[in-house]
Structure 1
Amino acid sequence: MQAVGLEERVVEFARLLRENGIRCTVAESIDAALAASLVGTEDLERLKQALRAALAKDPGRHRLFDYLFDVYWRGAWTAIQVPGRRVAVKVEVEAGSPVERFLSIYSPVDASWGEPGVDLPSPSQARALYRSLVLLRRRLGLEEGRRRVPRRRGMIDFRRSMRRSLRTFGETVRLARSSRKRSKTDILVLLDVSNSMKDYWPWILGILNSLRRLPPGSYEAFLFSTRLVRATPLVEAAGGAEDLRRFVSRVEGLWGSGTRISQSVEELLENYGPTLHRGAAALVFSDGWDLGDLRQLEAALAELRRRVGFLVWVTPESPRRDAGGEPSTMRVIRRQAHLTIDLETLLNTRKLLRLLPRLTG
């Protein structure tokens, strides 16, 4: 790599850091370019340490710096790929052919079809997505908060009992009871980016962009097709919608591949167990097309349902079951998911509100 090209990349990387909240001056950028010219790009770990020393003086920003470095210098797919070698095959077939339809549903190899070079949803659609996510967090109160609310049944509340006794001149006529209010919910989002979902990639980017507005630590995001990728670091590192689209577009061998729902869920259960708990609501956005073993899928979804507090499955459209428009996997999904809705229902907060159970106190 030529020195001029390396200097330009360092300047562009410094601009990316500033856009995401890491302050670095022109002098620090010059020091970083000099350090990069001395270290080179053969050993990216040494380059990361050199650039971190020059551009990220605040230790509290080192984690964000590492995410941005991996996204920019290594490529997002290298930074967050699962262990093991994988084969990515570029497939060119005639549009609308049976082969294309088969590979869009399932493929024994990672049939990569491209990157999500699509537009984000409109501002009104983005607001609807965000309102729906907020509604899910508020309505599905799965974790106990610090506040206590009066209950007919529950633990004896001595403080309220003493206050109530003042009305009867110190005589405790009836004991007050209360319990902790359920008011907190973590959102776990699994988004299908296979080729059969290609028409809905803008909505997937919109969901990821809406997660950025939620409090940090209250969500986890995953992308899946023939494998599973944790996208939370990309969402946290993005400074805006365009950054997010650029980051997720670099996840190679994932967008437009086949679909392996059961294997992806099993990978989630095995490798990301701490993100699964009874205080989390899992939201899966997928059309359910998968030609894998139905028993394996049902077992994986049953375990996912057992570990989380609530499982919502969102389909792109409402299929006509009487016309054979629903895949056989959807029957398994409907048995295991607490709630199965389409995208239109997700965007309609009034309709969604009627369907969601009220678990909060």
Structure 2
Amino acid sequence: MTSMDRGGSSDAPAPRPHAGAVLASGVVDSLTAAPDEDAVLRDLVAFTRLLRNAGVPVTPDRTATYLRALREIDVASEVATYWAGRLTLCSDPDDVARYDQAFHAWFSSDPRDQRMGRPAPPKPRTATIAALNPPSRSGEGEQDDDVPELKVAASGEEVLRDRDIAELTIGEREHLRRMLALLTPNPPRRRARRRRPGPRGEPDARRTLRATLRHAGEIPGLARRQRRERPRRVVILLDVSGSMAPYADALLRFAHVLTRRTPQAVETFTLGTRLTRVTRELRQRDPERALRDAGSAIPDWSGGTRLGEVLAAFLDRWGQRGVARRAVVVVFSDGWERGGTDLLGEQMARLARLAHTVVWVNPHAGKRGYEPVQGGIAAALPHVDRLLAGHSLATLQELTEVLADA
């Protein structure tokens, strides 16, 4: 059907498919997106991807139905927009709570922003109204300068990358969770004992001899072999005491991202008044379920800290038996120690002898004027290879680079 058949002018630009068509087949037939509409549709498809990461089984068909439903309602009404998504994207009563939380984080601004003097972020639905309700083709409103302009969300993400996790609002924390889920860290590598054929390396006598026999005694060339590479084990020791409570959730999600990348090469333990292994819980695909199960398994969340005693328990039960040997050990802690620091120094020395690299991540190290003078961090620093700050998304991305180069 031509644009004349649809009632438009013959010189109207031909519609082009939006970028979300890869995830939602069939949406192109129902939505003809202009260049500005293209970004809005990607934003809406990203909202469905957020629901999927939160555990709601959103399929491409439901995404297409959701986008078609938005074209049939008054998207200026938050209630109508809410029910359009709830009726098309939720298939189980358990999905409603997750949908409510995701909808509030994506489409609403947190009122605490106004109370704290910060400007509220623009609501995506304001720009969605202009894109989903295309202007009249009769020429009216072409010179209207009051049409809201769609802003790209990259600038807000850049600001959020450097924000202290402890100072984020509820809506910003939801955005941070989405950004953490998009991280693709490269695990550290190590050379394995087994070798494989390769263009370089030591001569392979057996393959060379077999090739000579196949060529009637003539040597066609010298075969070589080189050592394979395998992921190096990463051990995460996460302090979940009260002083680390503002960062514990984000750091545990970061541990889940690393675990999902190489499930068999990452071990995660929590440190507090006791040692808890949460590797099995974090190997689940759904981040919300993994974090919920890990939280249920940790009995000392936001409690005290006995780093020396708990680290000794880790080395006696797990580290000395092979978990920490030639591994990259990452300790997330601010260094506050309720007990004596001499024991912590001794156990860090044991850990340094076993591990390939020891990285200490202190969220307070990224703050202005910080000095590592606390008893725990001062006792551990002589046995640490790198001291990093883990208070923001940018510093966590820096940690992934350090791990890849370990």
Check conservation: 1:278, 1:307, Cα contact below 8 A: yes
Equivalent runs, 1:267-282 vs 2, <5 Å: 267-273=313-319, 274-282=321-329
Output the CA distance in 1 between the equivalents of 2:327 and 2:355.
Answer: 5
Output the CA distance in 1 between the equivalents of 2:344 and 2:388.
Answer: 19
Check conservation: 1:148, 1:181, Cα contact below 8 A: no
Q: State which of 233, 238, 246 in structure 1 corresponds to 2:280.
A: 233
Once the two structures are superposed, residues 137-191 of structure 1 have per-residue CA deviations (whole angstroms, 9 ceiling, x without a partner) of 2x44264454365667xx54436877999xxx96899x88764133321221111
Equivalent runs, 1:236-255 vs 2, <5 Å: 236=283, 238=284, 240-251=286-297, 253-255=299-301
Check conservation: 1:314, 1:346, Cα contact below 8 A: no
> Which segment drifts farther, 324-333 or 220-229?
324-333
**Residue in 1 that maps onto 2:374:** 327
| Structure 2: stretches of 5+ with no match in the other structure | 1-54, 56-169
List structure 1 runs of 4+ shifted beyond 4 angstroms. Answer: 117-120, 142-146, 148-152, 159-165, 169-173, 175-179, 319-326, 355-359
Check conservation: 1:160, 1:176, Cα contact below 8 A: yes
Check conservation: 2:195, 2:225, Cα contact below 8 A: no
TM value normalised by structure 1: 0.52
Output the CA distance in 2 between the equivalents of 1:331 and 1:241.
Answer: 34
Structure with more of its chain in strand, by fraction:
1
Once the two structures are superposed, residues 24-56 of structure 1 have per-residue CA deviations (whole angstroms, 9 ceiling, x without a partner) of xxxxxxxxxxxxxxxxxxxxxxxxxxxxxxxxx
How many Å apart are 1:272 and its aligned residue? 1.7
| Structure 1: stretches of 5+ with no match in the other structure | 1-18, 20-116
How many Å apart are 1:204 and its aligned residue? 2.6
Q: State which of 263, 274, 296 in structure 1 corresponds to 2:309.
A: 263
Once the two structures are superposed, residues 65-92 of structure 1 have per-residue CA deviations (whole angstroms, 9 ceiling, x without a partner) of xxxxxxxxxxxxxxxxxxxxxxxxxxxx
**Residue in 2 that maps onto 1:186:** 233
Q: Which has the larger radius of gyration?
A: 2
**Residue in 1 that maps onto 2:74:** none
Check conservation: 2:241, 2:303, Cα contact below 8 A: yes
How many Å apart are 1:276 and its aligned residue? 1.8
Equivalent runs, 1:137-152 vs 2, <5 Å: 137=187, 139-141=188-190, 143-144=192-193, 146-147=195-196
Output the CA distance in 1 between the equivalents of 2:191 and 2:332.
Answer: 21
How many Å apart are 1:323 and its aligned residue? 5.5
* 2:396 is the counterpart of 1:347: yes
Check conservation: 2:192, 2:227, Cα contact below 8 A: no
- Structure with higher RCO (Cα < 8 A, 6+ apart): 1
Equivalent runs, 1:112-131 vs 2, <5 Å: 121-128=176-183, 131=184
The percent of aligned pairs where both chains have the same amino acid is 26
Equivalent pairs counted in the alignment come to 231
TM value normalised by structure 2: 0.47
- Residues 285, 145 of structure 1: alpha-carbon distance in 2 compared, 3 angstrom cutoff: farther
Q: State which of 295, 309, 315 in structure 1 corresponds to 2:362.
A: 315
How many Å apart are 1:300 and its aligned residue? 0.7
Output the CA distance in 1 between the equivalents of 2:292 and 2:278.
Answer: 13
Q: State which of 344, 353, 375 in structure 2 corresponds to 1:297.
A: 344
Check conservation: 2:191, 2:228, Cα contact below 8 A: no
